[in-house]
Structure 1
């Protein structure tokens, strides 16, 4: 009888270890429900509470709406510390969509460049998903990416460039 119990325990431990190894090798995310927010253990950025996002946008009032696209609506919000943020309220929150969003956030949160709006965090509820970015007042993404310097600025830059004429 004791041998059977030991064998069952060994089999149980083997299954548990095998499952964890499989999940790590295949990058399976473990989403845990914590209140109304789903947290992804792999992601290294701020997990906003729904109440914080709701308060920042005054319950998603129309006056805070900046625009709408194929994936969702974008709102301007203000955090309790006074920072202004842009909140993308995504349309779909199916499990597969959440996995796609987690992968995208994992990549975006690691990318830092002067031409990229900084990604601050996210929030998942049972019904909705939100991405939170820094807010750039009076600037569009096109302007930030494709802004051309004026002719005067280019001329001044040309005057400051060192002369590398080697004939002298």
Structure 2
């Protein structure tokens, strides 16, 4: 493949070059960078190499620009929007320190829950969670499946029956 390249010299004359891409395969493009950017006139026979280097640099710039655009767009589409973090207080039927360990232990290892803390004296469970990962109803259901009441959600009877006596109402 041959193309014609025109270059205007300081003497205002135009010279025509024939450029053969195959002739310069494997040519190291950084060899002539000083000449290209300092605008020096090349020695005879090197003008084709300079044009080749300029073409390579333009291709590299275009490739890098496309790569940067693709990289940035992948960051934008690859992430889920983060949801809000909520903190709620749930009234439970917990009775003792064993209940506290059981509820906190189960909830603190649940995906989407930042922390869960039970105040045994008031029987109030404070839960901080990501609402895009888990819902309040799911948290209450999980507490119910442990055998405890969670606000209006009744305790699962099978789980309640398996609780030790100290964890049942009036067990102390």
Q: Which has the larger radius of gyration?
A: 2
Report 1 or 2 for greater relative contact order, CA contacts < 8 Å, sequence distance ≥ 6.
1
TM-score when normalising by structure 1: 0.28
Determine which structure has the larger helix proportion and give its number. Answer: 2
